[in-house]
Amino acid sequence: MSSFLSLRDVWVEYGDKIVLERVNLEIEEGAFVSVIGPSGAGKSSLLRVVLGQDAPTRGTITLDGVPLKPQCDSDRGVVFQRYSVFPHLTVLGNTLFGIECGRAPLAGRLFGAARRAALAEAEEMLAAVGLEDSLHLYPAQMSGGMQQRLAIAQALIKRPRILLLDEPFGALDPGIRSDMHALITSLWSEYALTVMMVTHDIGEAFALGNRVLTLDKLRHDPHAPNRYGASIVYDLPLTRKAPQRAETRAVLTQSA
């Protein structure tokens, strides 16, 4: 039986450069997987193939036993290090846009009762990330932490089953980072997410994940540095569990 997300013999190559080779990975639903490794090891490349932004050059990726489509879809949401929000839309507009794109792909706009329902949904999601008092602000009027909260709301509004995080807190100050750690832990449980997070911060990897993967090259050829790619060299299961819903409610209320 295949697990929730399954990578079998996945390779990522750019021309003659092998970035990832023979990546085999089984991820259970509800896991929080942190991915660490040296710069250039292929962490973001791994995330991109799971997101469907790039297709692996070899191998297969399945979600619930079904091959992943090589395109982004609502099963997968993503948050990058740099703000991926639209500067010309307010907080509410940014969040609503995600719903309208999904439900009215041609017009890009909902009307009447459908729009009112979408607004209520957007407001609820923004409350969950602690932005209920900032609905009418534009991104330029907000701190980096608030912009990342908005980016998380945008990713979650499509109700993805997998949340992909690429250095999501890398640009934030330490105090704000720890608030964001509490928030993401709460959302992991509250929305029953499977999370895959790339980070350079080993402390963050172990603090947030319940499984830590290290990507690195097992083989090096100093005369041909592109010849071998990285694979998973360590795969550490941790005993950390997603918090209970009652606990997350308390954190969400505090961070609001």
- In the bound state with ligand ATP, the residue whose beta carbon lies nearer, of 39 and 239, is 39
What does the H/E/C string look like for the chain?
Answer: CCCCEEEEEEEEEECCEEEEEEEEEEECCCCEEEEECCCCCCHHHHHHHHHCCCCCCEEEEEECCEECCCCCCCCEEEEECCCCCCCCCCHHHHHHHHHHHHHCCCCCCCCHHHHHHHHHHHHHHHHHCCCCCCCCCCHHHCCHHHHHHHHHHHHHCCCCCEEEEECCCCCCCHHHHHHHHHHHHHHHHHCCCEEEEECCCHHHHHHHCCEEEEEEECCCCCCCCCCCCEEEEEEEECCCCCCCHHHHHHHHHHHC
| Residue with Cβ nearer ligand ATP (37 or 59) | 37
CB of 184 to ligand ATP, least distance (A): 19
Of 22 and 103, CB closest to ligand ATP? 22
Chain contacts with ligand ATP (rule: CB under 6 A)? 14, 19, 37, 39-45
Nearer Cβ to ligand ATP (39/244): 39
Residue number, 5 or 19, with CB nearest to ligand ATP: 19
- Min dist CB 27 to ligand ATP, Å, is 18
Work out how close the CB of 215 gets to ligand ATP at its nearest, in angstroms, rounded to a whole number: 7
Question: Whole-number minimum distance, CB 102 to ligand ATP, in Å?
Answer: 27
- Supply the minimum distance, in Å, between the C-beta of residue 126 and ligand ATP: 30
